Amino acid sequence: MAFTRRRFGLLVTAPAVAAAVGPPAVAAPAGPDVVGAMRRAAAFLDERLSYRGGYVWSYLPDLSRTWGEMEANRTMCWVQPPGTPSVGHSMLDAYHATGDETFLRAAERTGLALVRAQLPIGGWNYVHDFAGTASLRRWYETVGANGWRLEEFQHHYDNATFDDGGTASAAQLLLRLYLERRDHRFRTAVERAIRFVLKAQFRGGVADGGWPQRFPHRPGAITRSPWPDARPPWLPDDVGHGMEDGDYTGHVTFNDDVLGENIKFLLMCVSTLGRHDLVDPVVRAMRCLHRLHQPGPQAGWGLQHLSRTAGGRPAGAPAGARSYEPRALTTHTTQTNVNQLFHYFRLTGDHAYLARVPEAIAWLDGCRLTDQQIGENPLLAGRTHPTFVELGTNRARFVHRFGSNVRNGAYYFDYDHRSTPSHYSAGRAVDTASLRATYDELMSLTPRQVADLKARSPLTGRPIPLPRYFSLRDLALTDLFRDAPPPLPTVTDAQAEALVADLGPKGHWLTPADAVTNPYRGPAPADPYDGTAYMSKHVGDRYDTSPYDPRNPPAEAPYVPSERPLVISTAAYVANMGKLLSWLSAR
């Protein structure tokens, strides 16, 4: 049975799913007081750490400095995981594990922070400042503008992003919160998010069904060229540089699995809201990824592809992105997209999605790193493939940089595998054996087994409850299938007891910071720097606001190695709470 109502000008048919995840579990009071510890940790975050319910990534215990991907104002929240949506998912998961309304109230407060951070267009930026637009612009003009390697923060685009799953993770949390109590405040935000995702999707041509990195497009948003007029005299004339295809934010984007995250959100709405009209955008997105699979022998994908003809190059061709992402095929993106094709087959039973997978695997097998390349560059240890592969020649392309900051330095690329940046890996670990094994497994399925997959697929439009937990690992599309096994890691009594003891009465865990930053000290100087101290480091000179590991700073004064400070980390909180609720759920 289903019911139909009119909301916000739309006819919405809601399947009769009493609760998206079923009634909350009530854990047995055995072993350490895990529920009490979880309650203390959630209360500390909600009442003392958050700002109006929003979170960044890490905090000094006295809150004197806070960080997202860069240093943040206290009035900010980070939408990009593991920020505000990640904490909200964890709070809601804790409610599902315990039935304790403390966690639901904290999750709702975090959800309302995201409602306030939602842009009028319906999506989200990486970051929101509760102090207002003027405060956010000042941050972009100071901290953001001087982050040499963080080009997405060097400009205030004043639009929303699909990058890093920010919009998708926020929308998914608000959908979950709406399904708990049918609160209209969350439903309004969910409807706006759905409209945004649909409006941003390309229509027509080879790009049909894909999404750009940011929307709506802001022409001229990137105002500073990453390639300075003055270049080092030792730099060869034939190196590649800059953003070869202009403003990269309007291309069809595969980077960070933009299509996969948007498809996941739309399928959740199909299964729980009865939004059968969203099946077509999902199918169009799947066909876009399939269509942009490049022809052999280079049967891969790039980070991004042209959405329209540009510079004599056809729509659908691989495109350059940030100044350290040259126009090329990318091996890790190809691995991700092959795995997406596996999911699309499971969703549809259509063998067309598998037809060219062997070509992609063969291409990956043919462009591995050499033993010499791995041996001569410590940053390639444990990697199997170059990140970038040149179009046409199939040669690996490697990125480098010169200078010391955002004004006197720039990135360039050539064929030299040495002295690559540490912040953007020149190599990737690609498991072609696993891809081949999955392909063989799917091809061996009987017609009855394929039919069973299709019957359990969210593309059927039948009501399917959402997974009970979202914070234990990144959910795949197959986690949305009916009767999909819940992702519960094994946690021993000793591990649970250790987490409870470490939390103690203080209500938070302290962990070494992943990175620190130089405080903003004014605009970076443009004086040339001809040294090499910053070529393979996460940070440049003291004017660079990019995060770096204090144990391994540049070998240049005034940097000296130091220990990582202890911080309160939202990523650690989510991970530790996930272990405790897994222990509870197994009782």
With a cut of 70, say whether residue 537 has pLDDT above it.
yes
Cite the DSSP H helix spans in 421-492: 432-443, 447-456
Enter the tokens of residue 292.
């942009």
Intra-chain end-to-end CA distance of the chain, in Å: 34
Alpha-carbon span 463 to 276, nearest angstrom: 11
pLDDT of residue 226: 65
Polymer length of the chain: 587
Alpha-carbon span 136 to 73, nearest angstrom: 9
Determine contact, residues 110/84, Cβ cutoff 8 Å: yes
**152, 198, 151, 133: which is closest to 171 by C-alpha?**
198
Alpha-carbon span 400 to 396, nearest angstrom: 13
Enter the tokens of residue 302.
């790039």
Alpha-carbon span 393 to 442, nearest angstrom: 32
Enter the pTM of the model. 0.93
The residue type of 56 is V
Average pLDDT value for residue range 32-49:
96
Q: Pairing state of beta strands 240-241 and 410-414?
A: antiparallel
Is residue 19 very low, low, confident or very high in pLDDT (cuts 50, 70, 90)? Answer: very low
Query: Cis (ω within 30 of 0) for the bond into 82?
Result: yes
Determine contact, residues 544/405, Cβ cutoff 8 Å: yes
Enter the tokens of residue 179.
């399904």
For residue 191, the number of C-alpha atoms closer than 13 Å in the C-beta half-sphere is: 14
Q: What is the DSSP letter of 163?
A: G
Query: Cis (ω within 30 of 0) for the bond into 523?
Result: no
Average pLDDT value for residue range 88-114:
98
Q: What digits encode the pLDDT tens for the residues 337-372? A: 999 999 999 999 999 999 999 999 999 999 999 999
Q: What digits encode the pLDDT tens for the residues 162-204? A: 999 999 999 999 999 999 999 999 999 999 999 999 999 999 9
Alpha-carbon span 142 to 458, nearest angstrom: 45
Q: Which residue has the tokens 């055995």?
A: 30
Average pLDDT value for residue range 59-77:
98
Q: What are phi and psi of 76, to 5 degrees?
A: -95, 160
Is residue 224 very low, low, confident or very high in pLDDT (cuts 50, 70, 90)? Answer: low
Alpha-carbon span 484 to 481, nearest angstrom: 5
Cite the DSSP H helix spans in 382-506: 432-443, 447-456, 493-503
Q: How many CB atoms lie within 10 A of CB 54?
A: 27
pLDDT of residue 487: 78
Residue 283 Ramachandran class (φ > 0 left, ψ -120 to 50 alpha, else beta): alpha
Alpha-carbon span 208 to 201, nearest angstrom: 8
User: For the chain, what percent of residues have pLDDT higher than 90?
Assistant: 88
Question: What are residue 389's DSSP bridge partners?
Answer: 329, 396
Q: What digits encode the pLDDT tens for the residues 108-117? A: 999 999 999 9
Enter the tokens of residue 449.
């087994």
Q: What are phi and psi of 214, to 5 degrees?
A: -130, 155
Residue 8 Ramachandran class (φ > 0 left, ψ -120 to 50 alpha, else beta): left
Determine contact, residues 68/80, Cβ cutoff 8 Å: yes
* Mean of the per-residue pLDDT values of the chain: 93
Question: For residue 109, what are the contacts with CB-CB under 8 A and spacing of at least 6?
Answer: 46, 50, 53
Question: What are residue 401's DSSP bridge partners?
Answer: 411
Alpha-carbon span 79 to 128, nearest angstrom: 7
Determine contact, residues 388/328, Cβ cutoff 8 Å: yes
**361, 371, 354: which is closest to 331 by C-alpha?**
361
